[in-house]
Homo-oligomer: A and B are copies of this chain.
Amino acid sequence: MSIDSSRDAVAGRGVGVGPGAGTPVLPAPSLRGRVTMQQVAAEAGVSISTVSKVINGRYGVSSETVDHVSRVIDRLGYEASLVARSLRNHRTNVIGVLVMDFEPFSTEVLKGVADAIHGSGYELIAYSAGGHVEAREGWERRSLSRLMGSLVDGAVLVTPTVTDVQADGPVVAVDPHTGPSRLPSVAADNLEGARLGVAHLLGLGHTRIGMITGRADLLSAQQREQGYREALAAAGLPVDETLMSSGGFEPELARSAARELLARPEPPTAVFAANDLSALATLEVAAELGLDVPGRLSVMGFDNIPESALADPSLTTVQQPIRRMGEEATTMLLSLIAGEELTEPHRTLATSAVVRGSTAPPRPA
């Protein structure tokens, strides 16, 4: 029982032993390395193309051979290499989610994409260039180039800053920072969301509402600021520019901005931050200053990332339906891949206020 089958199993190209050349030998030799079609073919005593046909269910193979080869495949635990197959085929049956980094927002989108893809028969690959600093600039184009047209049939691009990419295949952007472009996109209603947020603050009775704005070059930030201004205007309140400060969507900058605002002679009684990260930073600053939230200061965010519920006090914020945005984008993408025309290339989803513990009526003076 010590017949050495490895000679055949490992042999070079196109061994022509022929099927039924003998009784099956030792189970799964698998010397080392991944099992390749080559090895299956050798082990089964057929040609590589026959194995390929069996795997892909192509016609023109006797059911005997199919059975035999299938058995060998099972025994060897063979599974086609995604890479080799992708290189050969134009179609891969894989959807890509391209992100700059895996953080709360993008992973939430990812969940939405996964939800939408269930039962579609597609596989899902999420890719991040690794977040190294050099890779931050233009990651969208780079990632698209590396995966699109070979590994994936289409891609969802999460919060791209650059949207004038020329992808060779279907691409849908989620929350593009520069606004709708030629790329189909899904975004939340930032303008209305900001209005809602500020309206909540106004409804509590606040009249001195400061804002920590986002990155000036991003449309989402501009829209949130615009919503703030409109809500104030609608309430007949003037916009006090000294009550606005830029947080650039970044915790560090936001902290400075919050300090500045709260150090004013007449500080605001409420702060509306352009995103949750900035709001959370404001909470920290308030704690530093010994300012009670929400007793002395109300703080409102935007995004509703999971972390905002964990803050102390928990953050009142404007919620974006992040997960649903991922679902929408995927639905659009699948249509695109199916060759359909998009009736509505830019979808905007509604936002809503989530009231938690960081807002309350202003303390009577």
Chain B residue numbers with a CB within 8 Å of A120 are 130
Beta-carbon contact of A126 and B129 below 8 Å:
no
Q: State which residues 287-335 of A face B: CB under 8 Å.
A: 306-307, 309-310, 314
Stretch with Cβ within 8 A of B (4 or more), from A4-12, A29-37, A42-50, A182-190:
A29-37
How many residues on chain A are close to B (CB under 8 Å)? 57
Task: Report whether B124 and A82 are in contact in the complex, using a CB–CB cutoff of 8 Å.
Answer: no
* 8 Å CB contact of A309 from B122, B129, B141, B310: B310
| A126 engages B125 (CB within 8 Å) | yes
Q: Are B146 and A81 in contact (CB-based, < 8 A)?
A: yes
B102 touches A124 (CB 8 A): yes
Q: Which of A128, A141, A148 has the most CB of B within 10 A?
A: A128
Question: A150 and B82: CB pair below 8 A?
Answer: yes
A residues 160-179 near B (Cβ < 8 Å) are 166, 168
CB <8 Å contact, A142 and B79: yes
Question: Could you tell me the distance in whole angstroms from the C-beta of A130 to the nearest C-beta in chain B?
Answer: 5
Which residues does chain B contribute within 8 Å of A117, judged by CB atoms? 130-131
CB <8 Å contact, A33 and B130: no
Q: How far is the CA of A124 from the CA of B103 in the complex (A)?
A: 13
A150 contacts B107, C-beta separation under 8 Å? no
Asked if A111 contacts B122 (CB within 8 A), the reply is no
User: In the complex where A83-B150, A114-B101 touch, is A127 in contact with B132 (Cβ < 8 A)?
Assistant: no
- Verify if A156 is at the interface (C-beta below 8 Å from B): no
Cβ of A65 within 8 Å of any chain B Cβ, yes or no, is no
11 contacts between A and B (CB under 8 A): A30-B166, A34-B148, A77-B166, A79-B142, A81-B149, A83-B83, A87-B87, A102-B124, A107-B110, A118-B132, A125-B125
Q: Which residues of A contact B (CB under 8 A)?
A: 30, 32-35, 77-84, 86-87, 101-104, 107-108, 110-111, 113-114, 117-132, 141-142, 145-151, 166, 168, 306-307, 309-310, 314
